[in-house]
Amino acid sequence: VSSLDSRRSTRLAQAMLCLDDFEPKAKRHLPKPLYGYISGGSETNASLRNNLDAFQAYAFRPRILQDVSKRSTETTLFGQTFTAPFGIAPMGISALMAYRGDIVLAAGAAQVGIPMIMSGSSLIRLEEVVAAAPATWFQAYLPGEPERIDALVDRVAAAGFGTLLLTVDTATLPNRENNIRAGFSTPLRPSLALAWQGVSHPQWTIGTFLRTIARHGIPHFENSYATRGAPIIASNVTRDFGRRDHLNWSHLERIRNRWNGKLIVKGILHPDDAARAAETGADGVIVSNHGGRQLDGAISPLAALPEIVERLGDRIPIMIDGGFRRGTDIIKALALGARFVFVGRPFLYAAAVAGLPGVLRAADILKSELHSNMALLGVTTIEQISRGHLVSA
Ligand code: FNR
């Protein structure tokens, strides 16, 4: 069964021609509440739409006759060489979308030679993900209490992670009306509607949900991996949020003093905050509006990028995520001064519909788009991509 399954996944993955092709497949494959949870933003979805549209503000000004016969998409970040300037963004409860989803994403990224960030709202113990893919980065949501912050940092270090990322754009729960409309809740509550979703999506039910329960127990989200070390980990979405609204820069300082690895702050949109993060000792920032899932109407990361680049200069690497679907999207951000790009939803859709072959295919598509578009732009290395290759459209 499993080799039939993997042959089917490989065939399906190969039929995908661009990242956007995975979404309609995932919509059919996943129960409505889960597809709704991935695809949605907050309130009017203005930021979600805006993230995708932002790329149209720039047009390329390619150079010709450059001899681009030898090209490479390789780049270095924090002293490490990656085969492409993109990675997989942290996404919560991935194991509900694909069986052992975090491991599928992490192992896929490792195989390709790109970074993957494990979400702090994962259902799989962080030690298991590190065992499968040692280079994985870890994203934490900050609990408010200092002793829990310390416990979390120590646990992440003991598990063997070298890079810790703090997501800071989640002071409280946003209004994600679409989750309620789609019937999504944490934990997923048993209901007739959910039972029907299970029956009408048999492949997901058996392939993912039942096997997840058999292996990890009923997924729930009030367990803190930091303080309890329970088999199911999540810092997550419920009680902890209430205590997160008093977080401030002193908490970041506390973590900086305790954590010896690379420290990255995710969810920055203002140049002053980027500068403050650098001054507090962050090794990098990710310009992000959380994929349009937090403050609705927040500026798109691409639009926020130039001012942040201007303020920070070369002090620390500036990374970005939100709405990246094409190699050309990535090239635009690099031209504006980003060092690295993270991609969220498409990789989760790819894992949901086609498992590991899906993740590998998605990475391959993006890489080959980069490869050919670099030639058309007239560059042979990632470092050659510059502001001069863009004009305001
Ligand atoms: C997210 N995102 C997210 N971010 C984070 O720091 N911790 C998390 O647990 C999650 N969880 C999560 C779940 C799902 C289903 C999605 C779609 C997103 C945000 C994510 O890391 C990233 O910022 C955006 O997804 C990037 O935008 P695109 O590429 O999805 O448009």
pLDDT tens for each residue of the chain, 393 residues long: 567 778 999 999 999 999 999 999 999 999 999 999 999 999 999 999 999 999 999 999 999 999 999 999 999 999 999 999 999 999 988 988 999 999 999 999 999 999 999 998 887 888 889 999 999 999 998 777 787 788 888 889 999 999 999 999 988 888 888 888 888 876 677 778 878 888 898 888 888 888 877 877 666 554 433 334 433 333 433 344 446 788 899 999 999 999 999 999 999 999 999 999 999 999 999 999 999 999 999 999 999 999 999 999 999 999 999 999 999 999 999 999 999 999 999 999 999 999 999 999 999 999 999 999 999 999 999 999 999 999 999
Please indicate whether residue 337, judged by its CB atom, sits closer than 6 Å to ligand 1.
Answer: no
Look at the block and give the residue holding tokens 């203005």: 46
**Binding site for FMN: which residues?**
90-92, 119, 139, 167, 266, 288, 321-325, 344-345
Cα separation, 178 vs 332, whole angstroms: 31
290 touches ligand 1 (CB under 6 Å): yes
- Is the CB of 349 inside a 6 Å radius of any atom of ligand 1? no
Q: How far is the CA of 209 from the centre of ligand 1 (A)?
A: 21
Assigned CATH for 2-392: 3.20.20.70
**What ipTM does the predicted assembly reach?**
1.00
Query: 201, 251, 290, 389: which one is catalytic?
Result: 290
28 CB neighbour count, 10 Å cutoff: 11
Calculate how far, in angstroms, residue 65's C-alpha sits from the geometric centre of ligand 1. Answer: 40
Domains of the chain: which residue ranges?
A: 2-392
The annotation places the binding site for glyoxylate at: 37, 141, 176, 290, 293
Q: Three-state SS for 75?
A: strand
Other C-beta atoms closer than 10 Å to the C-beta of 327 total 23
The rounded distance, in Å, linking the Cα atoms of 240 and 220 is: 13
Coarse DSSP helix, strand, coil percentages of the chain, rounded to the nearest 5 percent: 50, 10, 35
**CA distance linking residue 334 with residue 386, whole number of Å:** 7
Catalytic residue list contains 251: no
Name which of 128, 103, 121, 115 is nearest 162 in CA terms: 115
Neighbours of 195 (CB within 10 A): 11
Q: Whose CA is nearest to atom 18 of ligand 1?
A: 91
CA-52 nearest atom, ligand 1: 31
